[in-house]
Structure 1
Amino acid sequence: MLVNSDQIIEALIETIEMVGLSLLFSAILGLPLGILLYATRKGQILENLPLFNVLNVIINIFRSVPFIILLVAIIPITRLIVGSSIGTAAAIVPLVFYAGPYIARLVESSLLEVDHGVLEAAEAMGATPFQTIFRFVLPEALSSLVLNFTIATIGLVGASAMAGTVGGGGIGDLAITYGYQRFDTVTMLITVVILIILVQGLQSLGNLLSKKIRRR
């Protein structure tokens, strides 16, 4: 049986849902971790090498595991959280475990790009560490953060497609079930085109937002 337009639209909606919710929860996890990595590293405003080293190792461990392995490895955790290891909701759990540490590293990278003069200016004004981070460093890094979050979102699109290998739903699931297992070349081509358009749209939007922020 060939795939129809309703199935394609449903798969696209599932992919957008997976990516959107995964990005939200990953940002909630990764943004504070990234700020902590930045602030506690050597020479920074909240220098704390033991804490930095622990966070650094944990994040590196999660980033070292390929998503397809992580997807299978945390199935017990996924079942514990959502009650199932199959479907769109189940796919969000490993996506967050995958993207959260990645976003943390991207946030750290963006904050490290901020000129040291900004920190000196904040110190001269008597700003507290909290004020320095949230009123000086983060606003200065906003353009870079937008670009890096765009990269993370695109990474989630690719990972959500891989979730289709274990019945995660979305475009990837459609490509596996119909395109690969049923040798439906047309469906495979359609899913690839949809993913390309989605990624191009996200990247263009991220570039536009970053450019506007830089101008301001």
Structure 2
Amino acid sequence: MFSSEVVKMLYTGFWETIYMTLVSTALGYVIGLPLGVTLAVTGKGGIRENKVVYRILDVISNVIRSIPFLILLILIIPLTRFLVGKSYGSSATIVPLVIAAAPFIARMVESSLQEVDEGVIEAAKSMGAGTWTIIFRVLLVEARTSLIVGVTIALGTILGYSAMAGVVGGGGLGDIAIRYGYYRYQTDIMVVTIVILVLIVQVLQALGMMLSKKLDRRNK
């Protein structure tokens, strides 16, 4: 049995992890969703194909995605300290999480929108629908099931990133696993944190799948 101090620590770490994951995912979508839409719209065969815009966003997205998260975490410490006032803790970890998540989310959004049937898009165009109408009333609506699945994937990925941030005192369960499970050789604490992380991922994935099935028109 763990002492009350350890239980309290795990409880705090659990909520810090949830906080980092949900806030980072939300902010990641604030940046990644419009970026993904722009990539889909300006890409080859898009409704507003623009090779220059697509190429610029494509390069930026690929460069950020190619940087390992731990390196990115250290690389932007000055920016994190400028925005948050410190480079450690759960709130500070949100900054690199958002930067890492945004291009990843953008690619998933782009992929989801590219799956929309071209016939539906052409039908909207034939009825005089403009670019914004097609984006909001056709692309995003038709791709909503895939987009929800993407949110589920993003949550799991960002949760994994948040655990990695424990290496530099990022807070949450990852920080506990590193400080106690690794540095102090308390394997039991490490095992518990891993189990909790796995359970969080399973719950988030189950909720995401339930919602996507509910919104899937093919099941109606």
- TM above 0.5: yes
> How far off is 1:42 after superposition?
2.0
Aligned-residue sequence identity (percent) comes to 51
Counterpart among 105, 108, 111 of residue 106 in structure 1:
108
Over 2 Å off, 4+ runs = none
SS of residue paired to 1:189: helix
Residues 1:53 and 2:55 are matched in the alignment: yes
Q: State the match for 2:66 in structure 1.
A: 64
Q: Please, what is the CA RMSD of the aligned residues?
A: 1.2
Matched length: 216
- Alignment of 1:145 with 2:147, yes or no, is yes
2:46 and 2:101 mapped to 1: Cα distance?
25
2:119 aligned with 1:117 = yes
Q: Which residue of 1 aligns with 2:77?
A: 75
Instruction: Report deviation, 1:188.
Output: 0.6
Query: Partners of 1:43 and 1:144 in 2: how far apart?
Result: 20
TM-score (norm 1): 0.98
Unaligned ranges ≥5, structure 2: none
From 127, 137, 140, the equivalent of 2:129 is 127
- Give the secondary structure class of the aligned counterpart of 2:37: helix
Unaligned runs of 5+ in 1: none
Residue type of the alignment partner of 2:159: V
Structure 1: which amino acid aligns with 2:92? Answer: A
The separation in 1 between residues aligned to 2:44 and 2:161, in whole angstroms, is 33
CA–CA separation in structure 1 for the residues paired with 2:208 and 2:59: 30
SS of aligned partner of 1:31: helix
**Structure 2 counterpart of 1:11, which letter?**
G
Following superposition, the deviation at residue 193 of structure 1 comes to 0.4
The match for 1:204 is 206
Q: Residue 4 of structure 1: SS of its match in structure 2?
A: helix
Residue by residue over 1:26-59, the C-alpha shift from the partner in whole angstroms, topping out at 9 and shown as x without a partner, is: 0000000000000001221111110000000000
Q: CA deviation at 1:9?
A: 0.5
* Aligned amino acid, residue 164 of structure 2: M
Opposite residue 182 of structure 1, the aligned amino acid is: R
Secondary structure at the counterpart of residue 126 of structure 1: coil
Matched, 1:90 2:92: yes
The residue that corresponds to 1:23 in the other structure is 25
1:149: Cα distance to partner?
1.1
> 2:190 corresponds to which residue?
188
Q: What is the letter of the counterpart of residue 105 of structure 2?
A: I
Q: Deviations over 1:126-158 (max 9, x none)?
A: 100100010011100000000011101100010
